[in-house]
Amino acid sequence: MKSNLATIIKKELSRFFMDRKLLLTTVIMPGLMIYIIYSLMGTMFTNLLTTEEDYVYKIETVNMPASIDAFFTQSEVPYNEIGTDKLEDAKTAITEGELDLCIVFPEDFDSSVSAYEVASGAAAPEIQMFYNSGETASLEAYQGISSMLDMYENSMINKFDINLSDNEYDLADGTDLMSRLMTALIPMLFLTLLFSGCCSIAPDFIAGEKERGTIATLLVTPMKRSSLALGKIISMSVMTLLSGISSFLGVALSLPKLANMGEDTSFFDFSGLGVPEYGLLLLLVLSVVLVLISLLSLVSAQAKTVKESATAIGPLNIVVMVIGIAGGYMGVQDMNLATSLVPIYNFAKSMSAILCGQINVANIAVTIVSNLVYTAICTWLLTKMFDNEKVMFSN
């Protein structure tokens, strides 16, 4: 059995590695495409994440002094004055994206600035500016007003400071829209490209043997059908694991480019990803690749021709894409042991959790183990299909 199994594996792998086009589409293209797509997204979003030219910033102020009011009026910067009792409401509005900026001036700001002596060493009057770096308009408003006030400060020989105290002025809650969008898109794109790599192998591996008539020769040889099925699965798994490793390298190399989108600008924080996180990600990729190729092997085994196999696999691509989107957009809060048992969906959820820095090792371990179990089940089913003469020799 071992010699027969090794013969089947050697036959399939030699055919794979001798086919340059198949090697290119399966091993090289997935990682290369992921790297190019994610890197381009980093560049494209730099241009997309900007406000419209006629956008009017929503700014509220507390204790607006006459001198700054005149400066704002001259610069045509609109604002709405509120009382200190509305400050917390303004902060909440900034966090929720309903307000761009809230500027809090000290009471008697003008008189305090006039009386302040730089040489005294005392703390200068402080202007506090609350903003949300997760909202493009808010970040732009903060940067623009900061520059204006810095210019005004320089004209007064450093008579006041901006955001000097230890308060938290960036009111982004860490789950802003763009971060959620990227942690949802990346698993979906990843799954789609992995599936495409599997599709380049699976249709021809069994259905192709049927169409060429070589499957009959294999089935009448003195070997167990289980050895033939296992040999097919193992050889396809080796090929798709290479595709998975290629895709993983594409992600690992492109995430830094995706995170740092534009000069001195970072919309997505993947700095928390270290060797352990990348290790878990690699194990997830390899496990889901085994599930995908096992499922596609079953489809290829029941098809009569390569064309029929490819046609049957087509709708599965849409299903995988939808599952990938659902796994990312549903968030990671509801991930538990139950969701970790759902094939493909568990990969999307686990990958989103890693990107968000909300890793639950137990859930990820269940995901990997369950994927291996599903692969074993599909292998057993493929063996049964090889034992079925109607399936293997249908016209």
Q: Say what the pLDDT of residue 160 is.
A: 60
Q: Is the pTM of this model over 0.75?
A: no
Taking residues 55-70, what's their average pLDDT? 89
Lowest mean pLDDT among 63-72, 216-225, 250-259: 250-259
Query: According to the model, what pLDDT value does residue 133 have?
Result: 82
pLDDT higher than threshold 80 for residue 21: no
Going by pLDDT thresholds of 50, 70 and 90, the confidence category of residue 263 is: very low
pLDDT at 108 over 60: yes
> Domains in the chain, please, with CATH?
2-46+175-392 (no CATH), 59-99+101-134+136-162 (3.40.190)
* Span 120-157, pLDDT tens digits: 777 778 889 999 987 878 888 898 888 888 877 776 65
| pLDDT-wise least confident of 80-84, 174-178, 286-290, 293-297 | 174-178
Q: Which amino acid is at 37?
A: I
pLDDT the model gives residue 293: 84
For residue 108, the Cα-to-chain-centroid distance in whole angstroms is 49
State how far the alpha carbon of 170 is from the alpha carbons of 84, 325, 359, in Å: 19, 30, 25
Among candidate residues 267, 249, 325, 275, the one with its CA nearest the CA of residue 35: 249
Quote the pLDDT of residue 103: 93
Whether 48 has a pLDDT exceeding 60, the answer reads no
Average pLDDT on 81-98 reads: 91
Give the per-residue pLDDT at 264. Answer: 44
pLDDT mean over 10-23: 70
* Confidence check: pLDDT of 262 > 60: no
For residue 81, the tally of other CB atoms under 10 A from its CB is: 11
Given this model, what pLDDT does residue 265 score? 45
Residue 215 pLDDT more than 80?
no
pLDDT greater than 70 at residue 179: no
Q: Take residue 175 and report the two structure tokens written for it.
A: 């789950």
CA distances from 299 to 52, 96, 385 (A): 49, 47, 11
pLDDT score recorded for residue 301: 81
> Rounded to 5 degrees, what are φ and ψ at 75?
-90, 0
For residue 267, which of 172, 144, 134, 132 has the smallest C-alpha distance?
134
Tell me the average pLDDT across 200-222. 74
Q: What percent of the chain has pLDDT over 70?
A: 71
Q: What value does the mean pLDDT take over residues 382-392?
A: 76
What mean pLDDT is predicted for residues 277-293?
Answer: 85
Average pLDDT, integer, range 190-200: 77
